[in-house]
Chains A and B, each alone.
Chain A
Amino acid sequence: MRVGSLSLGRDGWAGFVVLIFSSILFLLTIGLPEMPLVPVGPGFYPRIVLGFTALMGLWLVLADYRRKRLTNPLEKVPAPGLHGLVRRFRDVVIHFSMFAVYIAAMSPLGFRISTLVYVAASSCLLDPPRSPKAWVRVAVLAVLAAFLTFFVFERYLAVLLPRGRWTSF
């Protein structure tokens, strides 16, 4: 990706994000109140840390920019393109999204129902069942994950798992 005449690679963009994030938080520390009784307030240490990460972010940007300048354009690794990125990360995005839906569903549906559905869906996605035996395996796994873990944790380990707001289950 090019910004004007500035060409940055993966590291450069990562450094840029760190620099911006640290700078914003650093500015927010300026508004923190100082303590009258102690020489340092709640903003003292965050400023040191955020100043350090901002500096390191800047270093990464500059190092990347310098490396880009010194690299022969013919040696550059071509960008994978949107299609390549989608193909590479599609499964990961789907699994993260499924996990987000799972934990969002836990409050209204409860641990057991949401886990049952999540484990079955996730397992099917990772290895689509192609025979009745495979479907049975998915079902057994989902039931074990949802009900056996619930039973063991609640009954023997005193860990109370969420009940559903809508289902009371």
Chain B
Amino acid sequence: MFELLGNGIATLMDLKYLVPLVVGTLIGVIGGALPGITITMTIIVVLPFTFGLEPLQGLAAMIGVYVGGETGGLITSCLLGIPGKPSSVATMFDGFPMSRRGEPGRAVWLGVYASLIGGLLGAIVLVASTGPLARLALEFGPWEYFSLFILALSMVAGLVESSMVKGLIAGGLGLVVTVLGNDPVMGKERLSLGISTLEGGIPFLPVLIGTFAFAQIMSDIEKLGADQQLQTEAAKSVNLAVNHLKVLWEILSRPFVLLWASFIGLVVGVLPAIGGSAANMLAYDQAKKFSKHPEQFGKGAPEGIIASEASNNANVAGSLVTIMAFGIPGDAVTAVMLGALTIHGIQSGPLFVSQNGPLAYGMFAAYILAHPVVLIILAVLMRWMIRIVTVPKSVLFPMVLVLCVIGAYALGNTMSSVWILLVFGVFGYVMVKLGFPLAPFILGVILGDQIEINLIRALMTDPDPMQFLLRPISGALLLASVLSVAAAIWQHVRQKRRGVQDAEAADVDF
């Protein structure tokens, strides 16, 4: 394992791979720092550039975006009080107050170093656990895979805060997208509704790109006036000079917060499609609960910054474990990576590590090396970052949409993918406006074919549906699905009893 990892690192040090990694990381840092531009959108923008690259070059760039984005988001959270991305929200709670009381450098670098350490702790688990988990997954038959995918979907749908039914509908609609056009088992045309574009089925990448990019951009266009006001404030210059050794010691002298937050980030990352924002909030909450001075949280407590940033970078490692060991995307970013793998003809799943050893260890190496690269980029660019992140949206949005078009078009050199992009762009925007979550929908689109294939394979092997319950692993996974939905229902009922009304409950007649 160490030899393969050493080879991976040596390969990545070759300029051929190092340049995409560094460029990807730089784009990730900027994309993560730009308010309103999520890591998912940044990776969508980078995707078309990877088509002409070797698989490892493209994946190194994408991993760079992912790691860079997670760290970049803390800059605007700390300095402007605007989270660069959802997984930096908790960083803002203490980072911004610390900046406002005259310690912006301390706030930012606490976050950067916590990200670095959290990410590298995650790397240990990533390298050590992916192989064994993939071997465990090799024991799975179609029953277990089917149950695992159902667990993934039910967990994501159940975790939706506003409405579990909407989460389940969103997941279900994702599955519906995969039943249109083509039967993946028999290859028969079905439900194509007379539309020739649907005859071969709907490719998932234009769906993913359209749904996320348009939902985000159009929502931002809706409230553009307010954002521009916020950006004007950003033009202020700040002094970020800091004693780096002192900041590092401040982090290392809180080993429990660091380790516990990284652990939370990892676990949340391994669970499919929950994402860094949940890890970030959960770790922050835990740090506050375990703190001797919880009253200092929200006023610039260093533990708050350390916990949230260590967790969201460790979360990246967790997501990579899930995609590399099981072939299930841990979040939207890894879903795009899955698409990139498919474009290059590489099958993800439990055989990925054993069949593509150099590529898998190259990915581990890219993940590890991306962290020091982030550190170097920020050390060089920090003083200009605040100016870079104030790029006007009138420049950014048209460029992003043009790159989305190229990404969709290049999948099959056909305009039909671009029309699918637009259709699902409208659909994604409407979903967001109606309060439907996008994560279960996307997971449904990604897993739909696999759920069907494994269900049919299982039934063709043994027509008895009770096998799904009687086989121990499959039964346990289905039980876990039921429990996750039950837990979500219990939580919603408890919230209602407490009289908690979320914003989306303010429904209107129209």
Contacts and interface: CB of A to CB of B under 8 A. Distances in A.
Given A14-B434, A103-B422, A7 B509 contact: yes
A150 to B, nearest CB: 9
B172 A49 contact: yes
Nearest to B51: A159
Contacts of B179: 45-46, 49-50
Contact of A123 (B186, B394, B406, B451): B394
Contacts of B409: 161-162
Interface string A88-128: 11011001100110110011000000010011001110110
A57 B163 CA distance: 13
Contacts of A74: none
B508 A10 contact: yes
Interface string B177-218: 001000101101011010000000000000000000010011
A47 to B, nearest CB: 9
B405 interface: yes
A7 B510 CA distance: 10
A80 B190 contact: no
B463 A39 contact: yes
Interface size on B, as a range, is: 35 or more
Contacts of A46: 176, 179, 190-191
Contacts of A56: 165, 168-169, 172
Contact of B419 (A80, A89, A103, A160): A103
Interface string B394-434: 11011101110110011001010011001001100100001
Given A10-B434, A56-B165, A153-B48, A35 B452 contact: no
Interface in A115-168: 115, 118-119, 122-124, 126-127, 137, 141, 145, 149, 152-153, 156-162
A71 to B, nearest CB: 9
B358 interface: no
B183 A89 contact: no
A38 B185 CA distance: 11
* Dominant secondary structure of chain B at its interface with chain A: helix
Contact of A157 (B51, B394, B402): B51
Given A40-B459, A77-B506, A99-B401, A157 B419 contact: no
A63 interface: yes
B257 interface: no
Given A29-B191, A157-B53, A159-B406, A80 B510 contact: yes
A157 B409 CA distance: 14
B235 interface: no
A42 B176 contact: no
Contacts of B186: 35, 38, 41-42
B106 to A, nearest CB: 35
A60 B52 contact: no
Contact of A25 (B191, B398, B402, B456): B191
Contacts of A162: 409, 415
B455 interface: yes
Contacts of B402: 115, 118-119, 145, 149
Contact of B165 (A35, A44, A63): A63
Contacts of B398: 118-119, 122-123, 126, 141, 145
A52 interface: yes
Given A92-B222, A99-B401, A115-B402, A49 B510 contact: no
Nearest to B455: A45
B52 A79 contact: no
Contacts of A67: 507
Nearest to B429: A92
A2 B222 CA distance: 28
Interface in B496-510: 506-510
Contacts of A153: 48-49, 52, 406, 410
Given A49-B176, A126-B397, A157-B48, A91 B183 contact: no
A10 B172 contact: no
Contact of B188 (A14, A42, A63, A77): A42
B230 interface: no
Nearest to A29: B191
A106 B418 contact: yes
B507 A60 contact: no
A96 B425 contact: yes
B83 to A, nearest CB: 22
A145 B398 CA distance: 9
A91 B52 contact: no
19 contacts: A14-B434, A28-B193, A32-B190, A38-B456, A42-B190, A45-B456, A56-B172, A88-B222, A92-B218, A95-B218, A103-B415, A103-B422, A107-B415, A123-B394, A141-B398, A145-B398, A153-B49, A157-B48, A157-B49
The 5 closest A-B pairs by CB, nearest first: A157-B52, A127-B394, A126-B394, A53-B172, A9-B507
Given A40-B460, A100-B422, A157-B48, 9 more contacts: A18-B173, A49-B175, A49-B448, A92-B218, A92-B221, A126-B394, A126-B398, A141-B399, A157-B52
Interface of A: 1-2, 7-11, 13-15, 18, 22, 25, 28-29, 32-33, 35, 38-46, 49-50, 52-53, 56-57, 59-60, 63-64, 67, 76-80, 85, 88-89, 91-92, 95-96, 99-100, 102-103, 106-107, 115, 118-119, 122-124, 126-127, 137, 141, 145, 149, 152-153, 156-162
